[in-house]
């Protein structure tokens, strides 16, 4: 049992917050979108730069560090044999469009840090670092070597962890601060793919595209059509939510309000709206409408029915599947979907089922990401300890949970996600536009209160389990 009171930990954390925020802003300002096919191995110069900067910050506080071939970096507390790992990732999703605040010039406004990756997941790396700083500064007696691991390809398939687990030993226990509190004991499986139409668009379609990042419901969808007297007459029937721009061509645009693609209900899905209005008002030829039909049907339900993969279980609920990106590529429709499937469905042949559906509908198909579901025993003693620490500090009575999000926990032995998300009051009105301000969204942000509380909780937790 630790001799440190909650008040003592809070006082130390509050004293460190200026340095904490400075370190967070330093790494947030480095654009680190993982590039799988980069000629700068393994994932591009940005990911190398942010990893080296993070290790440099760790060294400045007196820690030993290690760079595992630019895939993963490590900052460690000591040299004891058995490790407990804290796993964060320094890569970010593409910034996309529509930002009010600059994505890589992080700023503090109204108690929020704003910048791409500050919430997902660079702040968690800094939480891990300052947990180590506390243990080091007060020379806390521990029975494990506490290590902070920082990956560089979490958002693009976790290939960094595939490499690490193949070549290096893993900790005896790993915590991943990339979910909500308390303990996430289960993660639904991931099944993402892309399909391309066998047939080309007719000459009526000049261009088509959505504007958003891969894990978000489409926020904007645009189609450019050949101008003709017939087309000009057809578009008169479209509702006001379809913006019409007539120049040399006819451009139709829908702007919606995005949400995370694994929680799509309640969003204003620009892709679904545009394709539905085009279909309902007979704007397109039967040929072109058929090419778009699968995208439209997928996002009409978000449950995989259109691809014949809808399923559910009692532990984790129904499959969620969202078409997130669709565009014209060499006169063919290319569309990308992301999905999360129930924990009990690891043995389902999703690839075979979807391949057959696509073939029958006139599309080629390939899997772009697959990850099995992960489950950690919610009755494990450490889960009980960490849940109790969180509940005691926050004055809550929460339970371990299952989520759709995928974290490094699915790639590691004896691992689960723990924080840093928590229920706090909403941002001040006017700080963010609708569909902005959360992870993966434009104007990604994180509450300073959340980071402060998360650091206190992590320190209290490691005083118990380290």
Q: What is the pLDDT of residues 189-207, one digit of tens each?
A: 999 999 999 999 999 999 9
The answer to pTM > 0.85 is no
- For residues 449 and 338, membership in a common domain is answered with no
Range of the domain at 358: 190-371
Of 371, 394, 419, the residue that ends a domain is 371
Q: How many CA atoms lie within 13 A of 38 on its CB side?
A: 16
- For residues 164 and 222, membership in a common domain is answered with no
The string of pLDDT tens digits covering residues 5-64 is 999 999 999 999 999 999 999 999 999 999 999 999 999 999 999 999 999 999 999 999
In a domain? residue 418? yes
In a domain? residue 160? yes
* Closest CA relative to residue 362, chosen from 196, 193, 194: 196
Of 371, 400, 417, the residue that ends a domain is 371
Q: For residue 222, what is the domain's CATH number?
A: 3.30.70.360
- For residues 407 and 293, membership in a common domain is answered with no
Q: At what angle do helices 6-28 and 448-465 cross, to 10 degrees?
A: 120
Q: What pLDDT is attached to residue 2?
A: 63
* Closest CA relative to residue 273, chosen from 255, 249, 294: 255
- For residues 127 and 163, membership in a common domain is answered with yes
In a domain? residue 83? yes
CA–CA distances in Å: residue 407 to residues 156, 237, 375, 417, 462: 12, 46, 12, 7, 20
DSSP class of 171? P
The string of pLDDT tens digits covering residues 321-361 is 999 999 999 999 999 999 999 999 999 999 999 999 999 99
- For residues 179 and 221, membership in a common domain is answered with no
Residue 237 · residue 281 · CB < 8 Å: yes
- For residues 128 and 246, membership in a common domain is answered with no
State the pairing for strand pair 183-187/401-403: parallel
In a domain? residue 1? no
- For residues 285 and 387, membership in a common domain is answered with no
Q: For residue 418, what is the domain's CATH number?
A: 3.40.630.10
The string of pLDDT tens digits covering residues 354-378 is 999 999 999 999 999 898 899 999 9
- For residues 163 and 198, membership in a common domain is answered with no
- For residues 28 and 162, membership in a common domain is answered with yes
The residues with which 251 forms a beta bridge, in sequence order, are 224, 245
- For residues 184 and 90, membership in a common domain is answered with yes
Q: What is the mean pLDDT of residues 407-413?
A: 94
- For residues 181 and 205, membership in a common domain is answered with no
How many domains, in total, are found in the chain? 2
In a domain? residue 35? yes
In a domain? residue 315? yes
The string of pLDDT tens digits covering residues 80-92 is 989 999 999 999 9
Q: What pLDDT is attached to residue 404?
A: 82
Of 331, 346, 371, the residue that ends a domain is 371
CA–CA distances in Å: residue 57 to residues 64, 88, 328, 427: 11, 15, 44, 30
Residue 1 pLDDT > 80, yes or no?
Answer: no
Over the chain, what is the mean pLDDT? 96
- For residues 328 and 457, membership in a common domain is answered with no
Q: What pLDDT is attached to residue 406?
A: 84
């Amino acid at each position: 049992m630790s001799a440190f009171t909650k008040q003592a930990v809070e006082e130390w954390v509050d004293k460190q917050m200026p340095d904490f925020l400075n370190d967070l802003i330093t790494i947030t300002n480095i654009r680190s979108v993982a590039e799988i096919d980069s000629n700068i191995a393994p994932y591009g110069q940005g990911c190398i730069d942010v990893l080296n900067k993070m290790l440099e910050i760790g060294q400045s506080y007196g820690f030993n560090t290690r760079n595992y071939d630019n895939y993963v970096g490590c900052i460690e507390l000591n040299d004891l044999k058995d490790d407990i790992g804290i796993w964060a990732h320094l890569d970010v999703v593409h910034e996309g469009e529509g930002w009010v605040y600059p994505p890589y010039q992080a700023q503090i406004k109204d108690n929020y840090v704003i910048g791409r990756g500050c919430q997902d997941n660079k702040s968690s790396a800094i939480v891990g670092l300052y947990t180590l700083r506390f243990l080091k500064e007060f020379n806390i007696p521990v029975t494990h070597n506490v290590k902070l691991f920082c990956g560089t390809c979490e958002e693009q398939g976790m290939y960094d962890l595939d490499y690490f687990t193949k070549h290096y030993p893993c900790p005896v226990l790993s915590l991943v601060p990339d979910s909500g509190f308390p303990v996430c004991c289960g993660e639904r499986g991931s099944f993402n793919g892309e399909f391309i139409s066998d047939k080309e668009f007719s000459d009526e379609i000049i261009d088509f595209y959505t504007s958003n990042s891969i894990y978000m419901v489409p926020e904007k969808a645009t189609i450019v059509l050949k101008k003709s007297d017939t087309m000009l007459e057809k578009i008169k029937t479209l509702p006001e939510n379809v913006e019409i721009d007539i120049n040399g061509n006819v451009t139709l645009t829908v702007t919606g309000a995005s949400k995370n693609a694994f929680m799509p209900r309640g969003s204003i899905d620009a892709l679904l709206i545009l394709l539905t209005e085009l279909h309902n008002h007979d704007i397109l030829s039967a040929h072109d409408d058929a090419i778009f039909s699968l995208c439209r049907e997928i996002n009409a339900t978000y449950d995989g029915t259109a691809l014949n993969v809808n399923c559910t279980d009692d532990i984790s609920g129904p499959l969620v599947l969202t078409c997130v990106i669709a565009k014209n590529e060499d006169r063919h429709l290319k569309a990308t979907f992301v999905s999360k499937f129930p924990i009990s469905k690891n043995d389902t042949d999703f690839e075979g089922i979807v391949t057959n559906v696509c073939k029958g509908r006139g599309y080629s198909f390939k899997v772009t990401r697959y990850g099995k579901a992960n489950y950690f025993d919610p009755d494990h003693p450490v889960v009980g300890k960490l849940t109790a620490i969180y509940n005691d500090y926050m004055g809550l009575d929460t339970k371990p949970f299952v989520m759709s999000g995928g974290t490094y926990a699915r790639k590691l032995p004896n691992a689960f996600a723990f924080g840093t998300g928590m229920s706090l009051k909403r941002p001040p009105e006017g700080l963010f536009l609708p569909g902005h301000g959360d992870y993966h969204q434009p104007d990604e942000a994180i509450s300073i209160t959340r980071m402060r509380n998360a650091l206190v909780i992590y320190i209290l937790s490691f005083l118990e389990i380290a």
